[in-house]
Structure 1
Amino acid sequence: MDVLTRIGLVELALGAVLGWAVAASMIKPAWVERAGVRKPRRILQAHLDYVIMGIILIAVGLAVPGLPTWLAVVIVVGTWVNPTLFVPLAFSPRAATRAWFQITSLVSFTATSGGLVGAAVVGLMR
Structure 2
Amino acid sequence: MDVLTRIGLVELAFGAVLGWAVAATMITPQLVERAGVRKPRRILQAHLDYVIMGIILIAVGLAVPGLPTWLAAAIVVGTWLNPTLFLPLAWSPRAATRTWFQVLSVVSFTLTSGGLVGAAVVGLVR
List alignment gaps of at least 5 residues for structure 1.
none
In the TM superposition, structure 1's runs of 4+ consecutive aligned residues that sit over 2 Å from their partners are none
Percent pairwise identity: 87
* C-alpha separation in 2, matches of 1:12 and 1:24: 19
What letter matches 2:11 in structure 1? Answer: E
Give SS of 1:94's match. Answer: helix
Report the secondary structure of 2:67's partner residue: coil
Q: Report the RMSD for the aligned CA atoms in angstroms.
A: 0.3
> What's the offset of the Cα at 1:35?
1.0
Provide the rounded CA distance (Å) in 2 between the counterparts of 1:74 and 1:92: 27
TM-score norm. by structure 1 comes to 0.99
Q: Could you list the per-position Cα deviations for residues 63-100 of structure 1 after superposition, in whole angstroms to 9, with x for gaps in the alignment? A: 00000000000000000000000000000000000000
Q: Deviations over 1:23-71 (max 9, x none)?
A: 0100110111111110000000000000000000000000000000000
Q: Give the TM-score normalised by structure 2.
A: 0.99
Does the residue aligned with 2:36 lie in a helix, a strand or coil?
coil
Structure 2: segments with no counterpart, 5+ residues: none
Partner of 1:77: 77
Alignment of 1:33-72 (within 5 A): 33-72=33-72
